[in-house]
Amino acid sequence: MSAVPAQGVGEPIIHAAPPRPSYIPPFGLRTVVGCLGMLLAVHVAGFNEHVTEIGLSDIRGAMHIGHDEGTWVIAIYEAFNIAAMAFTPWFYMTFSIYRFSIFMTAALALLSIPAPFMPDVTSLCILRAFQGLTAGCLPPVLMTVMLKYLPPEIRVFGIGGYAMSATFGPNLGLPLEAFWFERVGWHWLYWEIIPTAALAIAMMAYGLPKDPMHFERFEKFNWLGVLVGLPAICSLVIVLYQGDRLDWFRSPVITDLTFWGGAAFIVFVINEAFHPSPYFRIQYWRSRNIQAALLSLVGILAICAIMGDIPATYLSVVRGYRPIQTAPVSLVVALPQLIMLPLIAAFCNSRKVDCRFVLAAGMLCLAASAWLGTWLTVDWVRDNFYPLQILQVFGQPMTVIPTLMLATLAMGPADGPFISGMVNMLKGLANAVAYALFAAFTRRREQYHSTMLLDHHGTHGLALQGMGNPITQQLSVTSPDSAHVARNSLQVFHTYMHEQALVLALNDIYYVLIWVCLGYACMNLILPRRVYPPRAPSPNTPAR
């Protein structure tokens, strides 16, 4: 037997690296395939959300659904989608990441098959509620997979892969909707996820480690958290999606959902703070990094969503573009993300780079994009938006990746499931906040500018009377009936007023976004502490 060398007195004790758990295999090609399959599954869920939301008008026409009923289809899907993100970590820790991910991806795809054949709006809403529930279960798993199975040296690239669901996926929704509806058929707005879901399942089945199940966790199952938290989150999300259409608190529905949903959410937060098996830890909000990261995540994703909505709204309302004509504007942002996300991740993976400054620079890019948007006029066409979109190509990954680094790298391995549910719920909530803010701000500012323009016309109309009415002059040659010409002139005049009021309202939104971006840039230079990209522990590290 070989002798073990004696340890000198006073010398540090050398410990070997701790052994990896048996269900985490050595990193290799198989693990990469499994992680990419999980990433594809999350994109499948995102495409199912964004394609059907963007193509809602086409779906309503094909399924004979009214406008008001169609808004409930989107609101209910988003409500269950966001609510599921809060509770997912507990379930995948119980049923195992491998089984939970495959089951939810398969259920998401299978539920899309009968969607075009639903007989009425109620049945479609119920189906979409279950589909939203399954789709919301996938993003939190992706964050855990990237942080758990990737080596520390490339973990930031995993964060960049997760960031694709916030930058690449939403910007690809409009081009996909245009392709499926114009080239294939409206049924494929639902069915387009089936082939990619099958591929994602095959990749996850091959590459994800078969970790064990832990049914003993049901002994401390947080029943009160589910029974109170699920309806609370759903109620608040529905308020955000339906509030502006129902005129907010002038509607009994919005008032009741806000009061009872808010009360239930307070009970849910108190329960999470004291329950021995919470779904996420409220105590994380004591950390300055968590405060800055989560607040920034909601704000940044809302800013990116609004910046994507403005060109689509302008081109569809003012220019009358179909989605296939608007698609290049979104592709300008979406496709370069495949290159920019790895580049920004590699840049942030250096210990010499402070991700807080990268985040601030990204916010300045978004602020510059919003400043260029303030030049919007009724004469703009699709090509005028390209400079704004190019700035967002740099701004979006430069803000999202550092924000996720601040939220995750300050945590230990055991904190991953608790922070992933909170991050993903707020990530989904950002879309609802963006939808509510954009709808409310656009409507109110458009009404204001419309009133001001009509008042200005009424005040100065007589002063210009001697110059004639150019609209009437151009229409007078189309019909000998003066009454018919007068009605058409009034209609054209109101169209011009509506376009001008909408453009001025969108300009106001751009001005607000400038100051919001600058505020977030300053906040993230002051509030969070610096985090460093992870590195593998040395096997000869002295114990302390």
The model's pTM is 0.84
Q: Which carries the bigger pLDDT value, residue 461 or residue 223?
A: 223
What local confidence, expressed as pLDDT, does residue 517 receive?
94
Same domain for 60 and 209, yes or no, is yes
Same domain for 48 and 152, yes or no, is yes
Residue 330 lies in a domain: yes
Q: What are the two backbone dihedrals, phi and then psi, of residue 542, each rounded to the nearest 5 degrees? A: -65, 145
Alpha helices in 113-247 (DSSP H): 121-136, 138-149, 155-179, 188-191, 193-207, 223-242
Percent of the chain with pLDDT over 70: 87
65-80, pLDDT tens digit by residue? 888 888 898 899 999 9
Same domain for 45 and 193, yes or no, is yes
Three-state secondary structure call for residue 352? coil
**449, 501 in Cβ contact below 8 A?**
yes
What is the number of domains present in the chain?
Answer: 2
What local confidence, expressed as pLDDT, does residue 417 receive?
72
What local confidence, expressed as pLDDT, does residue 101 receive?
92
Distance CA 14, CA 511 (A): 59
What local confidence, expressed as pLDDT, does residue 5 receive?
45
Same domain for 321 and 425, yes or no, is yes
Residue 102 lies in a domain: yes
Distance CA 7, CA 63 (A): 78
Residue 6 lies in a domain: no
313-367, pLDDT tens digit by residue? 999 888 888 888 888 888 888 888 889 988 998 888 888 888 889 999 999 999 9
**424, 42 in Cβ contact below 8 A?**
no
Residue 391 lies in a domain: yes
Q: Which carries the bigger pLDDT value, residue 532 or residue 5?
A: 532
Domain that holds residue 93: 25-221
Residue 520 lies in a domain: yes
Residue 139 lies in a domain: yes
What local confidence, expressed as pLDDT, does residue 103 receive?
93
Same domain for 315 and 190, yes or no, is no
CA 207 to each of CA 20, 164, 196, 538: distance values in angstroms, whole numbers, following the listed order: 17, 20, 16, 27
Residue 347 lies in a domain: yes
For the segment 31-60, the average pLDDT, to the nearest whole number, is 85
Distance CA 129, CA 126 (A): 5
**Residue 447 belongs to domain with CATH number:** 1.20.1250.20
What local confidence, expressed as pLDDT, does residue 529 receive?
83
Which of 188, 221, 254 is where one domain is finished? 221
Same domain for 213 and 310, yes or no, is no
Distance CA 414, CA 256 (A): 39
Residues in CB range of 183: below 8 A, 6 or more apart: none
Alpha helices in 351-481 (DSSP H): 355-373, 386-408, 416-460, 470-475
Amino acid at 129: A
Which of 319, 312, 358, 306 lies closest to 511 in space, CA to CA? 306
Same domain for 213 and 329, yes or no, is no
Same domain for 63 and 189, yes or no, is yes
Same domain for 387 and 489, yes or no, is yes
Query: Residue 473: how many CB atoms within 10 A of its CB?
Result: 11
Q: In this model, does residue 478 exceed pLDDT 60?
A: yes
Distance CA 391, CA 389 (A): 5
Which of 221, 237, 253 is where one domain is finished? 221
**248, 238 in Cβ contact below 8 A?**
no
Query: Residue 68: how many CB atoms within 10 A of its CB?
Result: 11
Same domain for 210 and 313, yes or no, is no
Residue 407 lies in a domain: yes
Which of 204, 221, 238 is where one domain is finished? 221
Same domain for 68 and 195, yes or no, is yes
Q: Which carries the bigger pLDDT value, residue 490 or residue 380?
A: 380
Same domain for 33 and 147, yes or no, is yes
